[in-house]
Every structure is written in structure tokens, then in C-alpha cells.
């Protein structure tokens, strides 16, 4: 599991950074990386637990999360995306 995801889960469980540092003392970009790791993890977990017959509708209803799945599965092409 990536460090950022482990740290995010620890913070969620214990209510703060394990070292006790205030968030202003954390390395630059760490909060953003933790947020991204958590969003990707939660999206994949949701998708994998979902019955197959519900996935297409879920992807239509959640385009940002669907993009995560498509990128991870290698079906998203930045050069050919629809810019509507």
C-alpha cells in the first residue's frame, strides 16, 4: 500500500498525524497526494464490490470516478478525449 494511503488511513483512524506534527509542518504536497490516493482507493473498492450489471450506469452517473477506473484499466487516452 502506498505511504500516502497508509498515512491517510492512520489519520482517519486516530484523528491526526502519527508523529503529532501539525499539518502545516507536513511535506509540501503530502495532503494532496493523500487525498488522491484515498479517492483512487475508494473508487476502485466501490467499483470492484459493485455487481457487474450496475457498473455501466454507475460510470455514467459518476464521470470523474469512471475516468479513474478507465485510466487504471488503460482505456483512457488523453490525446483522444472528448472535450464536450
Instruction: Please say if the pLDDT value at position 62 is more than 80.
Output: yes
Instruction: Please say if the pLDDT value at position 43 is more than 80.
Output: yes
Mean predicted confidence (pLDDT) in 53-68: 94
Q: Return d(Cα 32, Cα 7) in angstroms, integer.
A: 12
Q: Are 8 and 42 in contact (CB under 8 A)?
A: no
Q: Are 17 and 11 in contact (CB under 8 A)?
A: yes
Residues of the chain with pLDDT > 70, as a percent, come to 89
Domain boundaries, the chain: 3-13+28-80
Q: What is the pLDDT of residues 20-40, one digit of tens each?
A: 888 788 889 999 999 999 999
Give the per-residue pLDDT at 65.
93
Give the per-residue pLDDT at 32.
93
Amino acid at each position: 500500500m502506498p505511504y500516502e494511503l497508509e498515512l491517510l488511513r492512520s489519520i482517519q483512524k486516530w484523528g491526526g498525524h502519527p508523529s503529532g506534527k501539525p499539518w502545516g509542518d507536513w511535506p509540501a504536497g503530502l495532503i494532496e497526494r493523500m487525498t488522491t490516493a484515498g479517492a483512487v482507493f475508494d473508487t476502485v473498492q466501490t467499483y470492484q464490490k459493485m455487481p457487474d450489471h450496475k457498473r455501466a450506469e454507475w460510470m455514467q452517473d459518476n464521470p470523474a470516478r469512471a475516468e479513474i477506473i478507465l485510466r487504471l484499466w488503460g482505456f483512457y487516452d488523453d490525446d483522444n478525449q472528448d472535450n464536450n
